[in-house]
Amino acid sequence: MAECFGSAAGIIWGPFLLIPLLLVTGLYLSIRLGFIQILKLGPALRLALFERKDADAPGGDVSQFQALTTALAATVGTGNIVGVATAISIGGPGALFWMWVTGILGMASKYSEAFLGVRYRTMDAKGEISGGPQYYLQRGIRGGFGKFLALFFAVAAVLASFGIGNMTQGNSISGNVSESFGIPTWITGLVLAIMTMVVLVGGIKSIGRVTAAFVPVMIVFYVLGALFILLVNVGDIPAAIALIFTDAFTGTAAVGGFAGSAIILAIQMGVARGIFSNESGMGSAAIAAASAQTTHPVRQGLVSMTQTFIDTIIVVSCTGLVIITTGVWEQGSDFAATMTGEAFTHGLPGAWGHIIVTLGLVMFAYSTILGWAYYGERCMERLVGRGGVMPYRVVFSIVVFIGATIPLAAVWNFADVMNGLMALPNLLGLLIMSGLIVRETKHYLKNDPKLRAGKSEVDLFMRGRDGGIDTYEVIGR
């Protein structure tokens, strides 16, 4: 089974399918949107981190900030610790460059999918907001093709939630806690399962409250530890950055335990681990974005794209630079699982490095479990109706325990396959609906370039224009 998923992942994430589609889609949207991820990053960060919500915004279940932290919770996980180490240990330091490229171009994709998530969101029979590719692919692309893409995405997302968002995270937590503190994996798994179920029963509002308080603390905690190490090794940073850029285009020669890599391997690992980390183009973050209280899809799209910036340009960069400047990347891929912990141990006095990485991984991975539980239940609702939500939550919580207590030889490859199968229909949808995204984005930013318009102002310049939020109630669910 592991070999089967490994072969499928190799095809999906090979040089002729998802990697070029991800990069081309991100570049195409970046150009058509005028590199909005760069020109509007400042106002977007202000809106996301300081203002945090739109006053008098209609609809939505959580604030813009809570929607952002829910999406961040799902993306800032083991990919930021183990995933970065895996990419560098196989593809060399140049893989970090391609993770940056994936992140920067992915910000345009993340903006676009969040825009569509809000634009085509729906309301279920309980009055909760649902949105994401499982809805906008069908509503934005008329006919059987749009419906096929929407259902394909929903099935892949439900399956992926048990891989990337559940078993891999629970296993990473229990394994690291057992190694660092000697706690049996079954105890960690039981505690995780109970905590997960308690939070999930409260739905998106409960998840939003937890992540809004939890996510900023965990990111600051981890980043400060990394910055301390980089400050201690500040003299090695210029050489590390030079190595990243040169190896991105030349490959990496064998050194120490590192076996060497070609350019294509650096690109493949950088893009694959980059998308695993920030999920740009997968469509998952659009599900969280759809629940936000916002006055216009453009505003939440800009807030959501800051998620990729925080995840990749800040957290991933901190991990990658620590691994490279401390030299532990030369140990090779056999040590990828413990490489980040080893780097922090080298860089910090005493046992603090290992403790910080363990606690960081626990917080990152648990937050990912919560975020992906919400993604999975929204897609389960799309497939079988509202009645499928509570059974999904129960099964999801039980699987957390299972993942924490068994070996996971095939699950990482399974997660890569499901991630790819989610991304394919979503990326096609973004390309097909790019005209709508670009047209409405330009109209909004022409009238509110600094993102300071209130609800009344937005209503005024959107009057008579079919380009804002299109919410309707789903009957019979």
Model pLDDT, residue 477 = 42
Cross-sheet strand order for the sheet of 122-123: 129-130, 122-123, 472-473
| CB contact set of 216 (below 8 Å; sequence gap of 6+) | 69
Alpha carbon distance 180, 351 (integer Å): 10
**402 contacts 188 by C-beta, under 8 angstroms:** no
341 by Cβ neighbours in 10 Å (0-12 / 13-18 / 19+) ranks as buried
DSSP state of 290: T
Alpha carbon distance 475, 477 (integer Å): 6
Amino acid code (one letter) for 146: G
**413 contacts 2 by C-beta, under 8 angstroms:** yes
What tokens were used for 164? 């990337």
Model pLDDT, residue 470 = 57
pTM over 0.85: yes
What tokens were used for 72? 């961040």
One digit per residue, pLDDT tens: the chain, 477 residues? Answer: 667 877 888 888 777 888 889 889 999 999 999 999 999 999 999 988 888 777 666 666 677 888 788 778 777 777 788 889 989 999 999 999 999 999 999 999 999 999 999 999 988 777 778 899 999 999 999 899 999 999 999 999 999 999 888 988 888 888 888 877 889 999 999 999 999 998 888 777 777 777 777 778 888 888 998 999 999 889 999 999 999 999 999 988 888 888 888 888 888 888 878 877 788 888 988 998 888 888 899 999 999 999 999 999 999 999 999 999 999 998 888 888 778 888 888 878 767 777 888 888 888 888 889 889 989 999 999 999 888 999 999 999 999 999 888 877 667 778 778 888 999 999 999 999 999 999 999 999 999 998 888 888 888 888 877 666 655 545 344
Model pLDDT, residue 61 = 66
**364 contacts 77 by C-beta, under 8 angstroms:** yes
Alpha carbon distance 307, 80 (integer Å): 13
SS3 119: helix
130, containing H or E segment: strand 129-130
DSSP letters spanning 247-263: HHHH-B--BTTB--B-H
**393 contacts 206 by C-beta, under 8 angstroms:** no
| CB contact set of 468 (below 8 Å; sequence gap of 6+) | 119, 296, 297, 458, 462
Pick from 198, 171, 196: which is nearest to 185 by CA?
Answer: 171
Model pLDDT, residue 447 = 94
Angle at the Cα of 408 from the Cα atoms of 406 and 412, rounded to 5 degrees: 150
Alpha carbon distance 97, 89 (integer Å): 14
Pick from 50, 51, 122, 80: which is nearest to 470 by CA?
Answer: 122
Instruction: Report strand pairing: 472-473 vs 129-130.
Output: unpaired
Model pLDDT, residue 135 = 94
Q: Cα 388 from chain centroid?
A: 24
Model pLDDT, residue 471 = 52
Q: Quick count: other Cβ atoms within 10 Å of Cβ 31?
A: 11
**312 contacts 100 by C-beta, under 8 angstroms:** yes
- As a residue count, the chain comes to 477
With tokens 């690291």, the residue in question is 176
**461 contacts 440 by C-beta, under 8 angstroms:** no
Alpha carbon distance 347, 375 (integer Å): 37
**383 contacts 151 by C-beta, under 8 angstroms:** yes
Model pLDDT, residue 141 = 95
